Amino acid sequence: MNKLRPLQLAVLMVCARCFSMMTYFPYTHSNTLIFMVGILLSGAFQTILLIPAVAVCQKREMGLCEIAAARSAAMGRVVTCFFLAYFAWDIFVTTGNFAYFSDQYFSDQISRIPVVICAVGVAAYLGLMSSQVLGKCAGIMFALFAVFTSVLLLSTVTQPDLTNFHLAQRDIGSTIIKDAKWELIRNRELVMLVFLLGDVRGSKAKAAYGYIAIKIVILEVVMAFVTLVLGELAVETDMPFFYLSCYANSSVIERYDAGFMSVWTIMAVLRIAVMLHCFARCLQKLSGRLSRRSATITAIIPAAATIIVLSQRRWKSIAYLREPPLLIIAVAAIIPLAVALLRKNRRMSDESK
C-alpha cells in the first residue's frame, strides 16, 4: 500500500483547514489579540487530544480501524461505523457550505446545484486515488495557497491599524476559553487526521503535531494581517479573508477576489476528495465486498443530500451551526484512547492466565 510521508499528511490536513479558514471565521465578541490567544490555547488542547491516536498507531503501525478489528471483529465494526458516520456528516456540511457561500456571497452568477455536481464530480475522481497521491496533490495546492496569500497580504498593508491589538476585555479568561472552543469546532479535519495516521510511513507524531504547528502559524499570521488592514472589521465580520481579497489591489491587479475564489475552490475540492476517500475506505471495511469505485460512488450520497436543503434555501442554519465540541473529542480522542486501553487490558488478562 502506498504510504504518506509525515509532512504530506500534515499539509493535506492544513489544506482541509484552509478551506474552513477562507470560508469564514467564527464570530467573536473579543478583539484580535484575545482571539489569537484562543487559537493558541485551542492548538495546545488539540495536541493533547491527538496523543492517544498517535501513540497507538505508532506502536501498532496500523490504522485505528485495523487496530480495533485486531482486538475483535465487533469492536472494529463499531469504530469504523463511528468514522463512517462522521465522514458522512462532514461531506454533507462541507459540500453544502461550498455551494452556499459560492452562491450567496462570492458570486451572483453561480447556481448552487451545478456547484455541487461539479465539485463532487472532481472530488470523487480524486477520492479514487491513493492517500499518497492525495498527499502529493496537497503539496501542489498548498504551494499555490502560500503564493496567493503572500501576494495578497503584501499588497494590502499600507497603513497598519494596531488599535485592535490589546487585552482590554471584560472576563478575559472566559472569553479566551470561548474563542478556543469555537476554534476547536472548526477543526473537523482532526477526525480525518486520526483515520489516516495508519497511512503514514515513519513518525506519526511528526504528521500530527506538524499539522497543528503549521495550522497555528497560518491562522495567526492571516488574522494578524487581516486586522492590520481591516482594523475592527476583522472581528466584526465572519469572512475577513474574503473581504481582504476584495480590498487588496496592486498596480497589476485591481482586486484579488477572483484569485480568492480559485484557491478557495481548489481547497474545497481537495477537502471533499479526502473525505470521500476516507468514507469509501470505511464502507469497504464494513462490507468486505465493495470495490473502491463502488464505495466512492456510494460516498456521493451524503454530498447529494445537500441539494435538498440547498434547493429549499435553508442552508444558513447549517452553515453557521456550532456543533458540540464533544463530537470531535469523542471521535478523535476518546475512541483512540478506548482502543489503546482495551489492548492493554487484553494483554494484562493474558498475563494473569
Q: Is the pLDDT of residue 212 over 80?
A: yes
**6-338: which CATH number, 1.20.1740.10, 1.10.357.10, 2.40.37.10, 2.40.50.140?**
1.20.1740.10
In 3D space, the residue among 301, 275, 287, 286 whose CA is nearest the CA of residue 127 turns out to be 275
Q: Is the pLDDT of residue 261 over 80?
A: yes
Q: Is the pLDDT of residue 349 over 60?
A: no
The pLDDT mean for the chain works out to 86
At 345 the pLDDT is 45
Q: What residues does each domain of the chain span?
A: 6-338
Q: Is the pLDDT of residue 352 over 70?
A: no
The count of residues in the chain is 353
Q: Is the pLDDT of residue 226 over 70?
A: yes
What predicted TM-score, i.e. pTM, was given to this entire model?
0.90
Q: Is the pLDDT of residue 72 over 60?
A: yes
What is the rounded average pLDDT of the residues 274-280? 94
Coil, helix or strand for 200? strand
Highest mean pLDDT among 2-11, 164-173, 242-251, 254-263: 2-11
Residue 351: pLDDT band with limits 50, 70, 90: very low
- Rounded CA-CA distance 120/129 in Å is 14
Residue 191: pLDDT band with limits 50, 70, 90: very high
Percent of the chain with pLDDT strictly greater than 70: 90
- Rounded CA-CA distance 40/201 in Å is 28
What is the rounded average pLDDT of the residues 125-130? 91
Instruction: Give the DSSP per-residue string, 245-286.
Output: HHH---SS-S--HHHHHHHHHHHHHHHHHHHHHHHHHHHHHH
Name, in order, each residue with C-beta under 8 angstroms of 222's C-beta and a sequence gap of 6 or more.
Answer: 21, 149, 153, 241
Q: 283 with 133: CB under 8 angstroms?
A: no
